[in-house]
Amino acid sequence: MDFAISGEVIHPAYLVTVGFVIGALGGFFGVGGSFLAGPALFAVGVPMNYVVGTDMAHITGKSIVAARHHRALGNVDIKLGLLMVIGTVIGVEVGAQAIEALERRGNVEVPVGISFTVILLAVSALIAWESWRTIRQGRALRAPKPPTLVDITSLSHVTRKVHAIRIPPMISLPASGIPAISLWVILGVALVGGVFAGFLGGGAGYVRMPMLVYLIGAPTHVAVGTDLFEIVISAGYGTFTHALKGNVDIIIALVMHTGAAIGAQIGVQLTRHFSGPRIRLAFVPLPLIGAAVVIYKLLTGTEVG
């Protein structure tokens, strides 16, 4: 199939398959999937500027579908998501400015690559340790039916300490089962996620989702749905800005979305059959895949994402 905007010829079955896989992963884990979609597009010759912009457009569409279905299951805390947008926007700008500073010094590739790798490995190790410890304790092995706001983690003592921060204004989050939490904690978590997104690229769901669970105390299912809601807003803004710069091949994005729309619904439905610890443990390989991509790029000099 000839895509006139980017000037590439790509078999639509490839794009549909990539979209389906990323949609299923996004619906189940609440991540955008840039660390997989970017390399998949670049591997078939899509220029890097179109990779970034088109990936944003695809992520926005996929996240809308997944967030809508999570909302129907009661897994989206809209109040929390909207509050986090403030910190996310500021964080993205901080991260982007850091990249600009490194580029002016002519040394961006290695610092970003090493930072990305270390962070992804650390996130993966933490989630693996916590989830396996929780499961070994024999608790919450199956998803509750009907779903509840009760979620078990072995780091609940960390969440309690975060909730003990009483810096006003205090915010209640009924959809997440949180009676009171400082607004500054929410903004701080969003700011960190935004910095990672601006500095390392993508939606930073690999960082934000664990922080929603371990720091804010949102149940895993709600963290997944809320993170997708957040990605809709941030990726939507990114799509708009890249479209103005002519970096979006909307036809490629739409073809990918045909697979992603189906995959996202399947991913969302699968979360109904897994407990929070099981979802978190299954999440572990995703940061490892992202780290492998970055390591390959650093060692070979090949642009993969």
Mean pLDDT of all residues in the chain? 81
On whether residue 164 sits in a domain, the answer given is yes
Question: Has residue 103 got a pLDDT over 70?
Answer: no
On whether residue 305 sits in a domain, the answer given is no
Question: Has residue 136 got a pLDDT over 80?
Answer: no
- pTM recorded for the entire structure: 0.76
The residue with greater pLDDT, 144 or 253, is 253
Question: Has residue 263 got a pLDDT over 50?
Answer: yes
Query: Residue 29: its pLDDT value, please?
Result: 80
Query: Residue 303: its pLDDT value, please?
Result: 47
Structure confidence at residue 65 as a pLDDT band (50, 70, 90): confident
Query: Residue 50: its pLDDT value, please?
Result: 82
Question: Has residue 207 got a pLDDT over 90?
Answer: no
Question: Has residue 254 got a pLDDT over 80?
Answer: yes
Structure confidence at residue 304 as a pLDDT band (50, 70, 90): very low
On whether residue 30 sits in a domain, the answer given is yes
The residue with greater pLDDT, 262 or 4, is 262
Number of CB atoms found within 10 A of residue 49's CB: 14
On whether residue 151 sits in a domain, the answer given is yes
Which range marks the domain in which residue 64 is found?
Answer: 6-300
Candidate ranges 121-125, 157-161, 184-188, 290-294; pick with highest mean pLDDT: 184-188
Query: Residue 35: its pLDDT value, please?
Result: 65
Question: Has residue 17 got a pLDDT over 70?
Answer: yes
The residue with greater pLDDT, 257 or 202, is 257
On whether residue 201 sits in a domain, the answer given is yes
On whether residue 1 sits in a domain, the answer given is no
Structure confidence at residue 298 as a pLDDT band (50, 70, 90): low
Question: Has residue 168 got a pLDDT over 60?
Answer: yes
Query: Residue 200: its pLDDT value, please?
Result: 64
The sign one gets for the Cα dihedral 285, 288, 294, 297 is negative
Domain count, the chain: 1
% the chain with pLDDT above 70: 85
Average pLDDT, integer, range 270-294: 78
The residue with greater pLDDT, 66 or 154, is 66
Average pLDDT, integer, range 114-121: 78
The residue with greater pLDDT, 17 or 237, is 17
Structure confidence at residue 170 as a pLDDT band (50, 70, 90): very high
On whether residue 175 sits in a domain, the answer given is yes
Query: Residue 215: its pLDDT value, please?
Result: 93
Candidate ranges 1-15, 88-102, 174-188; pick with highest mean pLDDT: 174-188
Candidate ranges 160-169, 204-213, 267-276; pick with highest mean pLDDT: 160-169
On whether residue 87 sits in a domain, the answer given is yes
Query: Residue 73: its pLDDT value, please?
Result: 85
Query: Residue 220: its pLDDT value, please?
Result: 86
